[in-house]
Amino acid sequence: MRIALAQIDLVVGDLSGNARRSIDAIEAAREAGAAITVLPELTITGYPPEDLLFKQHFLDDARVALDDVAAATSGTVAIVGFPERGGDAVYNAAAILADGEVQGIVRKVRLPNYGVFDEYRYFGAGDHAAIVEVDGVPVAVTICEDLWLPDGPAAAAAAAGATVILNTSASPYHRGKGHQRERMLAQRARDHVAVVALCNQVGGQDELVFDGHSVILDHEGLVVGRAAQFAEDLLVCDVDPAAASAARLRDPRGRLAHRPALGTPVRTVARLTTAATEHPPTSTPPRHGHPQDESPHGDGELFPTLDPIAEVYAALVLATRDYVAKNGFSTVVLGLSGGIDSTLVLLVAIDALGADRVRAIVMPSPYSSEGTQSDADRLADAVGVQRMRLGIKPAMDAYDQILAEPFSGLEMDLTEENLQARIRGNLLMALSNKHGWLVLTTGNKSEMSVGYSTLYGDSAGGFAVIKDCPKTLVYDLVAHRRQVTPDAWGTDGEHDVLASIVERPPSAELRHDQRDDQSLPPYDVLDRILEGYVELDLGRDQLVDRGLPAADVERVIRLVDLAEYKRRQSPPGVKITPRALGRDRRLPITNRYGG
């Protein structure tokens, strides 16, 4: 049986566009001889459509778009996700399309309602597992979370005879998630003694980025096909359900142990034949990567997976490219300080958009050092972006003058420092207004966590590219990008601009000789405290038990708690850790519980 996984980049709310993308993918899969094509979860609306699901006309329009896709299916079967209106509820559903019509509908049974998922808010739960018979093979159709639980509908469908388990998915990325997902699927394939094929969405959607990385595994849990990470792809692969069937004769677990315990009823929702049997088997493409986990008998393309830091970098690039394009911008602008954070954001931006669609603004003040400003210039020149120098001293003087009376008799303090950041923020927003450039904000997760940024100053902007990257990871990402083009930064006795930026101690340069470590613990300590406090919800004592200095722990906890109001006002940015600072971590602003 030939299966195609159409890993496409959908746009939330673009119903007709998503229908067109689906039709193109199904047509390409049909031409490749696929009997069945799986598309990502909620294909028609994109994922997550959020409160669009409360609008009746949106649901009606989605159904019209689904019927357009159905009309374009002939000789093949396609699994296409859509929100199904059923009585007074909406279901996260997948339509079985064939011969120009909707042949059956499958409802998601297990709704995720944790982390970034809010599915109880929107959906009713399906009450049965679904099997579709395709060319005589019983195929289970499941929707994302349905397969993440060992006792979900896939288990029931497999116990009822399904030898192939398909999954239409919108599984957002965080560091290492692709490998975690593959391991989970391998376990399901082995436990259910079935071929497993998961088609994941790819692309950026506000704070989420979907990594693609769709996979097909044989009934022994070995990967037979793997699609690209962070790029659209059509994975076409021949699988062998008969081998699963034969293995079950020797492996009685599904029959004896599972079945009585599985409460989910199973229904066969369609019986279909395709024209795919007329196609010869695919020729074996070149194979590469990770032989220990991959099937020697498979014939699908096997993309090698990226290493952990390259993977995060690719996520930032795709998320930035999609946010910019899907929101109708062509060019972005950022303040380039000669520091590490704006350096990383610049590198991601040029890789996402091309240097000609990025503008770097260098905005020296009297506190800016010659080193940072010349590194900012050199860096912009090294990567070939247009740069502009806008000195902020005249604006600082103007503010001093305007505020002279209300501030008379008062010492200079943080107020004047923050004004510099606000002047820069204002200039970037003015350039944005005038030229239609989107402002990329440069704050990292460590700063965002402790509130080390100026409200309406350096935190102003449209998209916060590295908002979920701790400072220590920022260095790793720059090091990774450096070795992608090792000769681009000045070599052999020349000034190496990237080395110079990396080696300089971090400073906001808002007063003379300022350094971040005067206000914050060293970043390696800070990031360990933050990982424990922000991502794992550990308390003071647990952090101190991990060997972290008590005074630092107490101060950081206090700063994180106090800065909730700032984070609520920050631009959206890319989630790359298991617990990002956006909808993943919801704490009250008004809150007397410390720690």
Ligand X SMILES: Nc1ncnc2c1ncn2[C@@H]1O[C@H](COP(=O)(O)OP(=O)(O)OP(=O)(O)O)[C@@H](O)[C@H]1O
Ligand Y SMILES: NC(=O)CC[C@H](N)C(=O)O
Task: Report the distance separating Cα 397 and Cα 390, nearest Å.
Answer: 14
Q: Does 461 bind ligand DND (CB under 6 A)?
A: no
Task: Report the distance separating Cα 587 and Cα 89, nearest Å.
Answer: 30
**Which of 1/345 has CB closer to ligand X?**
345
Kindly tell me which residue out of 9, 41, 527, 561 binds ligand Y, with binding defined by CB under 6 A. Answer: 41
**Which of 146/294 has CB closer to ligand Y?**
146
Cβ proximity of 379 and 497 under 8 Å: yes
Q: Does 144 bind ligand Y (CB under 6 A)?
A: yes
**Which of 119/375 has CB closer to ligand X?**
375
- Which of ligand Y, ligand DND, ligand X, none does residue 519 bind (CB under 5 to 8 Å by kind)? ligand DND
Q: Smallest Cα–Cα separation from 241: which of 188, 277, 283, 194?
A: 194
- Which of ligand Y, ligand DND, ligand X, none does residue 454 bind (CB under 5 to 8 Å by kind)? ligand DND
| Residues 493-522 within binding reach of ligand DND (CB under 6 A) | 508, 510, 516, 519
- Which of ligand DND, ligand X, ligand Y, none does residue 148 bind (CB under 5 to 8 Å by kind)? ligand Y
Catalytic residue check, 469: no
Q: What is the DSSP string of 438-474?
A: EEEE---HHHHHHT-S-TTTTT-SSEETTTT--HHHH
**Stretch of 143-151, 265-273, 549-557, 577-585 contacting ligand Y, by CB under 6 A:** 143-151
Q: Structure tokens of 94?
A: 């997948």
> In the block, which residue shows the tokens 């980025």?
209
- Which of ligand X, ligand DND, ligand Y, none does residue 171 bind (CB under 5 to 8 Å by kind)? ligand Y
Q: How many residues bind ligand DND (CB under 6 A)?
A: 18
Which of 27, 31, 55, 108 is the catalytic position? 108
Catalytic residue check, 144: yes
Q: Structure tokens of 558?
A: 């206090």
Task: Report the distance separating Cα 487 and Cα 458, nearest Å.
Answer: 31
- Residue 86: beta bridge partners? 89
Catalytic residue check, 575: no
- Which of ligand Y, ligand X, ligand DND, none does residue 41 bind (CB under 5 to 8 Å by kind)? ligand Y
Per-residue contact flags (x/-) with ligand X for residues 365 to 394, judged by CB under 6 A: ---x--------------------------
Q: Structure tokens of 463?
A: 């998209």
Task: Report the distance separating Cα 568 and Cα 554, nearest Å.
Answer: 22
**Stretch of 144-152, 343-351, 443-451, 481-489 contacting ligand Y, by CB under 6 A:** 144-152
| Residues 563-582 within binding reach of ligand DND (CB under 6 A) | 565
Q: Smallest Cα–Cα separation from 457: which of 522, 508, 529?
A: 508
Q: Structure tokens of 542?
A: 């647990």
Q: Please state the φ and ψ torsions of residue 80, each to the nearest 5 degrees.
A: -125, 125
Q: Smallest Cα–Cα separation from 359: which of 328, 386, 379?
A: 386
Give how far the C-alpha of residue 17 lies from the chain's centroid of Cα atoms, to the nearest Å.
Answer: 21
For residue 350, say whether it is annotated as part of any ligand binding site: no
Q: Does 454 bind ligand DND (CB under 6 A)?
A: yes
Q: Smallest Cα–Cα separation from 470: which of 519, 422, 535, 514?
A: 535
Q: Does 506 bind ligand X (CB under 6 A)?
A: yes
CB of 117 to ligand Y, least distance (A): 6
- Which of ligand X, ligand DND, ligand Y, none does residue 455 bind (CB under 5 to 8 Å by kind)? ligand DND
SS3 of residue 196 by DSSP: strand
Q: What is the DSSP string of 576-589?
A: -SSS-SSTTS---S
Tell me how far CA of residue 295 lies from CA of 23, 212, 270, 332, in angstroms: 31, 20, 31, 44
Q: CA angle 516-517-520, nearest 5°?
A: 85
Cβ proximity of 125 and 109 under 8 Å: yes
Task: Report the distance separating Cα 499 and Cα 486, nearest Å.
Answer: 11
- Per-residue DSSP letter, 410: P
Q: Does 447 bind ligand Y (CB under 6 A)?
A: no
Q: Does 113 bind ligand DND (CB under 6 A)?
A: no
**Which of 418/426 has CB closer to ligand DND?**
418
Q: What is the identity of the amino acid at 432?
A: S
Residues 6+ positions from 406 with CB-CB distance below 8 Å: none
Task: Report the distance separating Cα 111 and Cα 123, nearest Å.
Answer: 8
Q: Smallest Cα–Cα separation from 526: which of 481, 560, 493, 576?
A: 560
**Which of 137/460 has CB closer to ligand X?**
460
**Which of 421/560 has CB closer to ligand DND?**
421
**Stretch of 151-159, 302-310, 322-330, 332-340 contacting ligand X, by CB under 6 A:** 332-340
CB atoms within 10 A of CB 376: 28
CB of 518 to ligand Y, least distance (A): 40
**Stretch of 64-72, 206-214, 344-352, 416-424 contacting ligand DND, by CB under 6 A:** 416-424
| Residues 442-461 within binding reach of ligand X (CB under 6 A) | 442, 447, 458
Cβ proximity of 191 and 300 under 8 Å: no
Q: Does 489 bind ligand DND (CB under 6 A)?
A: no
CB of 582 to ligand Y, least distance (A): 16
Which of 31, 101, 119, 144 is the catalytic position? 144
Kindly tell me which residue out of 182, 218, 447, 531 binds ligand DND, with binding defined by CB under 6 A. Answer: 447
Helices then strands, each counted (H, E), the chain: 20, 20
**Which of 3/501 has CB closer to ligand DND?**
501
Q: Which residues bind ligand Y (CB under 6 A)?
A: 41, 112, 144-145, 148, 170-171
Applying CB under 6 A, the residues found at the interface with ligand DND are 414, 417-418, 421, 447, 451-455, 457-458, 508, 510, 516, 519, 565, 589
Binding annotation for deamido-NAD(+) = 418, 447, 566
Residues engaged in binding ligand X (CB under 6 A): 334-337, 339-342, 361-364, 368, 424, 442, 447, 458, 506, 508-509
Positions marked active-site = 41, 108, 144
Binding residue numbers: 114, 171, 177, 335-342, 418, 442, 447, 566
